[in-house]
A and B are shown apart, each in its own frame.
Chain A
Amino acid sequence: MSGINWFKYSSPARFYPLAGKLIPYFAALAAVLTVIGLYLGLFVAPTDFKQGEGYRIMFVHVPAAWMSMFIYVVMAIYAGLGLVFNTRLSSLMATALAPTGALFTFLALWTGSLWGKPMWGTWWVWDARLTSELILLFLYIGFMSLKASIDDPRRAARASGLLAIIGVINVPIIYKSVEWWNTLHQGASITFSSGTSMEATMLASLIVMIFAFWMYTIAVVLARVRCEILEAERDTEWVAAELGKSQ
């Protein structure tokens, strides 16, 4: 690791080809892990004694919810780096992360709703966990619209970066909401509400699916940041060389 000069890749021109080379590996990892995770989750993991087969929603719900929070933190870190060091790539990375984070937030809410209906008898309740996750979706949307609404890219990065950093307070609130407030949502997924720890193959399926979603995120965000880089650097020599050579 120490042999690589990471600063070398902080320039968009250097990062662009590196990202292009890395995408197939992360995409392949995501595909393989998804197949393993789905096999374990749908065929190997046993029926839950309380929730029957309905609990299998967990294998997409928890990874989506986990990624929705994780991506936000990573996005805020990149936004912060962009604000402090004024590095162009950091702001572009934050921009590239936001749509995927918003998508996972939406999927966490959607699958949660489909899980809540049969288990709680309702699609939605305004409790702490659900409401704070909905606020996360609004934070992502706010970040993207703020960035898009300001023409000057530097000012757009600064304003949206500030919003991303302030909004990061919401992440520990989501995470801790099930402990801090009375909520319908069950506690941390490692133990079910009955208190018994999760069965080994259930836990394995969940962890594999989390890694699958993680690798997917890296692949798709690297692909998106390449788009962002091309648009931000469209008037540079290297983009002319990069796009000129393929014609």
Chain B
Amino acid sequence: MNWGSASEFFAMGGYAFYVWGSYGVTALFLALEVVFVILRKRTITQRLGRRIRMRIEVNNEAQT
């Protein structure tokens, strides 16, 4: 273990801005990418699902 205390850990030997700036932005963007992909999947599923149900209804009405 390299660190005497939590504040020493967060100070990163004076490089806090650079180290946490790198880790923070990386974590943020990777998390955002995951959220965007999940939202995209949900949007597509809803949109295509609606289209498909509409088509089925139109077909059913055409048959009756």
Q: List the interface of chain A (C-beta within 8 A of B).
A: 42-47, 52-54, 56-57, 60-61, 64, 99-100, 103, 106-107, 110-111, 114-115, 117-118, 216, 220, 223-224, 226-227, 230-231, 234, 239-240, 243-244, 246-247
Give B contacts to A, CB under 8 Å.
1-3, 9, 12-15, 17-19, 21-23, 25-26, 29-30, 33-34, 37-38, 40-41, 44-45, 48-49, 51-53, 55-56
Known contacts A227-B40, A244-B53, A246-B49; 18 additional CB pairs below 8 A are: A43-B2, A47-B13, A53-B12, A53-B13, A53-B15, A57-B18, A64-B26, A99-B33, A103-B33, A107-B25, A107-B26, A107-B29, A111-B26, A118-B18, A223-B41, A227-B41, A240-B52, A243-B52
Chain B residues whose C-beta falls within 8 Å of the C-beta of A231 in the assembled complex: 44
Contact B44 A54 (CB under 8 A): no
With A43-B2, A46-B2 known to touch, is A56 a contact of B12 (CB < 8 Å)?
A: yes
Which of A106, A114, A220, A230 meets B18, CB within 8 Å? A114
Which of B12, B25, B38, B52 has the most chain A CB atoms inside 10 A of its CB? B52
In the docked arrangement, what's the CA distance between A162 and B21, Å? 36
Q: Identify whether the interface residues of A are mostly helix, strand, loop, or mixed.
A: helix
* Complex partner residue of A247 from B12, B44, B53, CB under 8 angstroms: B53
Q: Quote the shortest CB–CB distance from A207 to chain B (angstroms).
A: 17
